Each structure stands twice: as C-alpha cells, then as structure tokens.
C-alpha cells in the first residue's frame, strides 16, 4: 500500500485527447501572458501533481495562510506560496472569471489559467516570513521582489508537459509510485540534492537506506543559481556513483523538475511534501537543508518540523547531524559516532568542492569518490 499523496488526491491537470485539442483551439483567441522559466516549472509541477493538492496558482487567502500558519488550507501543511505575477498593465487587461493563455519561456502555450482573483501582498512581509530575510542578496528574495506588480490566481488546464535534459529520468509522481510498487518497496527514503554526491552525502544516504527498502536519489533540476554545477555534469556524477557504490536493487535515480528557492527551513518542509507526492515515506534532512550563504542556522531546517503536525505532513523526516571524514577513524562519521577532535575531521560541503574546482584542484578522496572527482575536474578545466 503506497503512501497517500498530500491532501489525499494526486492532482493531474495535464490535458489529453479531445480536451487538449479543444484547449488548443480556445487558446489561439485568448489574451496571453508570457511567463518566465521559473513560472513555467511551477506550471509543470501543478500539472503533474508534484504540488498536490494545488490545482493552480494561489489566491490571497491561501498565500496569507501559508505565510502566517504554514497551511494551504486547514490541516494541510504548506510552506512556500506558489505565485504567478503580471505587470499592472497586463493585469488590468485580464477579466475575473475569464481564461488567459500562458506562453512559456520556450514560446509555447503551456497552460490556460481561469482567472479567479487579482491581488497584492505586502512583499516585504512575504519574504521575511518565507525566507527569514529581506536582503536582496538572497536569490529567493531578489526573485520575489522582482516579480510583476499584481498576483494572479486560478486553476490551470495544462497543454504541455515540460521536457528537460535527461528526460528519461524525469519520472512523474505517478511513474515513481508505479516503480516503487514494481520493486516491492514499502519504505522509501528520498535524498534531495542540487550538488554532486560527495562522501558525506553517501554516508547519510546509506545510513538512511539501512532503515528503508529503497533510496530515491532525487536531484533538483529546476532553476538554480548561476554558480551551481550544471545539471548535465551533476547527472554524470550521480550515474557514476550509483554504478560503482550503491546497490542497484535498492537505489533509484530520478529528477525533480522543481525550482530551487533557497528558502532553507521552509523549503525543507516543501521538499518533504513534494517527496510524499512522489510516493516516498521518508526524507533525509541534513545540515543547512536548502540553505544559501549565511542566511540560516545549521539546523534550522530540523527545528521547523517541530512546528508541523507530523500526521498532517504524512512523511517522516530523518535528521542528520553534520558528517565528516575522520582521519583517525579512517571513515565517515558524525559528532554522534566519532570520538576524535576537529583536527582529525575533514568537513565536506558542495561549496568547498566548487571552490577547489574553481582553483583547478582535484577533490581528494575524503571529499568525494575518484570517479566523481574525475568528472568534476574535467568539467572545471575544460
């Protein structure tokens, strides 16, 4: 028996058959709104049920409930508003109750929005609640403050499933659930990453796998910061490390086509909700999950789960302390397992790996496996 999706129903807003053809016909004569890559990924997430129970972009009451109570509706946790914005001039041309064709960044009509609401929100309050900062040095804050003047709400009918690089690994929640069923996995732990897997990641994923039947390595492949390692390089790293160091009967690689918001604690909650929709029963929450810069405390993403009703969340977070390679132990450990001092510890992070690569240095074995290091250095020095 698979885990129920968030909100009880796995949403599917992707049109097919006659409904798709009829929508294409209507879209040709509808007013249009051009959306950016970020919004296009959000449309795709709504379409495929990744954002279940959302059926469209949020209205004002939902946004305020998420900001103030971390609920999208009573008893249904949600941590980050999903917003569509337009300029005032554009919004003035749209009529409540009517349809709008959304043209994506690839020039296609991706969806039809039935406009239910036009509204404004205090953006300073919004970013302070969601990102815990108003600094425009935070990428999520900068994006939110730079959105159009007016927010648009309404259900979506989606005409196009978005394709991305490595589309063969871009499984929908319906597909991952079917794969878990086929494999006979009942307890599935998800690992969220936007970096190549280094030794600390390997350690905590394998610790978590000891408690579960299967591990879903589920890298985020939506929009990320410009200095994050490109998706094709990361994919080569994931495939290599799985090939050499993970048990194939208990490990699965799939992509998550979701934007990186860098919202730290609140994004950790969102990552849990999303993985529940994919059919996972557990999710790894490590050090500074979904963080950026110095905006969040090391374990803020652990503590926020104390504010969420566990039954309503419906997926179990597995918390890990900062792990490291211990030269005295000769292997990976954490402050719970290793008795040695900091002088023996090699602390690992994606940031440190990127710094070494930028300097043309091969990451050592204490950082990452040699197969991964080879891929990374070849990319960095190309």
CATH says 17-158 is which class? alpha beta
Angle at which helix 60-69 crosses helix 123-131, to 10 degrees, equals 40
Residues 6+ apart with CB under 8 A from 162: 40, 41, 43, 44, 104, 110, 257
Query: Quick check: pTM over 0.75?
Result: yes
pLDDT of residue 367: 86
Distance CA 354, CA 323 (A): 18
Q: Of 170, 195, 259, 277, which is the active-site residue?
A: 195
Q: Of 132, 177, 194, 276, which is the active-site residue?
A: 194
Q: Which helix (H) or strand (E) holds 292?
A: none
Indicate if 195 belongs to the active site.
Answer: yes
pLDDT of residue 195: 86
Domain ranges of the chain: 17-158, 167-256+321-380
Q: Which CATH number is correct for 167-256+321-380, 3.40.50.620, 3.40.1260.10, 3.40.50.720, 3.50.50.60?
A: 3.40.50.620
Indicate if 194 belongs to the active site.
Answer: yes
Tokens describing residue 337: 């397992």
Sequential pLDDT tens for the chain (382 residues): 579 999 999 999 999 999 999 999 999 999 999 999 999 999 999 999 999 999 999 999 999 999 999 999 999 999 999 999 999 999 999 999 999 999 999 999 999 999 999 999 999 999 999 999 999 999 999 999 999 999 999 999 999 999 888 888 999 999 999 999 999 999 999 999 988 888 989 999 999 999 999 999 999 998 888 778 888 999 999 999 999 999 999 999 999 999 999 999 999 999 999 999 999 999 999 989 999 999 999 999 999 999 999 999 999 999 998 889 999 999 999 988 999 999 999 886 667 777 888 888 888 888 889 999 999 999 988 8
Distance CA 295, CA 139 (A): 11
Decide: 313 and 281 in contact? Cβ < 8 Å.
no
Distance CA 379, CA 382 (A): 5
pLDDT of residue 348: 67
């Amino acid at each position: 028996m698979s885990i129920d999706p968030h909100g009880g129903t796995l949403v599917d807003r992707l049109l097919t058959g006659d409904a798709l053809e009829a929508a294409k016909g209507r879209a040709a004569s509808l007013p249009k709104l051009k959306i950016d890559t970020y919004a296009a990924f959000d449309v795709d997430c709504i379409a495929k049920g990744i954002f279940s129970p959302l059926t469209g972009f949020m209205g004002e009451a939902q946004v305020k409930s998420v900001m103030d109570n971390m609920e999208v509706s009573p008893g249904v946790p949600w941590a980050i508003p999903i917003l569509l914005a337009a300029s005032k001039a554009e919004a003035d041309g749209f009529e409540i109750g009517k349809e709008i064709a959304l043209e994506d960044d690839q020039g296609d009509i991706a969806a039809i929005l039935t406009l239910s609401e036009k509204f404004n929100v205090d953006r300073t309050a919004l970013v302070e609640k969601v990102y815990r900062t108003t600094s425009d040095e935070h990428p999520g804050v900068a994006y939110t403050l730079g959105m159009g003047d007016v927010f648009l709400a309404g259900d979506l009918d989606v005409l196009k499933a978005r394709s991305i690089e490595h589309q063969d690994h871009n499984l929908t929640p319906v597909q991952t659930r079917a794969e878990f069923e086929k494999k006979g996995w009942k307890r599935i732990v998800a690992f969220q990453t936007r970096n190549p897997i280094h030794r600390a990641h390997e350690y905590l994923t394998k610790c978590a796998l000891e408690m579960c039947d299967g591990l879903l390595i589920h890298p985020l492949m939506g929009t990320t910061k410009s200095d994050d390692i490109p998706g094709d390089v990361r994919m080569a790293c994931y495939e290599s490390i799985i090939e050499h160091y993970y048990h194939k009967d208990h490990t699965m690689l799939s992509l998550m086509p979701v934007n990186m918001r860098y919202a730290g604690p609140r994004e950790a909650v969102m990552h849990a909700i999303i993985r529940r929709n994919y059919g996972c029963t557990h999710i790894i929450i490590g050090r500074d999950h979904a963080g950026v810069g110095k905006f969040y405390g090391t374990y803020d993403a652990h503590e926020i789960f104390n504010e969420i009703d566990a039954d309503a969340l419906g997926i179990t977070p597995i918390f890990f302390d900062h792990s490291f390679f211990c030269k005295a132990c000769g292997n990976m450990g954490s402050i719970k397992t290793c008795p040695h001092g900091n002088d023996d510890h090699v602390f690992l992070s994606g940031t440190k790996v990127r710094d070494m690569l930028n300097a043309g240095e091969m990451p050592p074995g204490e950082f990452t496996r040699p197969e991964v290091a080879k891929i990374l250095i070849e990319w960095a020095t190309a």
